[in-house]
Chain A
Amino acid sequence: MPDSTTSRVSLTLGSSIESVDRVEQTAQEFAERAGFDEDTVPNIAMAVREAAVNAVIHGNAYSPGKQITATFETNSDSLVVRLTDQGAGLDLNKIPDPLAPENILRGSGRGIFLIKAFMDEVHFRQLHPGTEITLIKHRVPAQPPA
Chain B
Amino acid sequence: MSMKVATRQVDGITILDLSGRITLGEGSVTLRDAVHDVLGKGSKKILLNLGEINYIDSSGIGELVSGFTSVRNAGGELKLLNLTKKVHDLLQITKLYTVFDIWDNEASAISAFK
Binding site for B on A (CB under 8 A): 17, 20, 42, 46, 49-50, 53, 57, 98-99, 104-111, 113-114, 117
Of the residues A46, A105, A111, contact of B69 by C-beta under 8 Å: A105
A residues less than 8 Å from B25 (CB atoms): 17
Q: CA A57 – CA B86 in complex, angstroms?
A: 25
Q: Determine the distance from Cα of A110 to Cα of B57 in the docked complex, in whole angstroms.
A: 9
A53 contacts B65, C-beta separation under 8 Å: no
The interface residues of chain B lying within 8 Å CB-to-CB of A113 are 58, 94
**Complex contacts, B68 vs chain A, CB 8 Å:** 105
- Tally inter-chain residue pairs, CB-CB below 8 A: 48
Task: For B26, give the chain A residue with the smallest CB separation.
Answer: A17
Give Cα distance in the complex from A135 to B57, angstroms: 17
> In this complex, what residue of A is CB-closest to B69?
A105
Do the beta carbons of B58 and A114 come within 8 Å of each other? Answer: yes
Q: Knowing that A50-B57, A53-B24 touch, tell me 15 more A-B residue pairs with CB under 8 angstroms.
A: A20-B24, A42-B86, A49-B23, A53-B59, A98-B94, A99-B94, A99-B95, A104-B96, A105-B65, A106-B65, A107-B62, A108-B58, A110-B62, A114-B58, A117-B93
CA–CA, A17 and B57, complex, Å? 13
Binding site for A on B (CB under 8 A): 23-25, 55, 57-59, 61-63, 65-66, 68-69, 86, 90, 93-96, 99
CA distance A17 to B25 in the complex (A): 7
Contacting residues, chain A, for B63 (C-beta < 8 A): 107
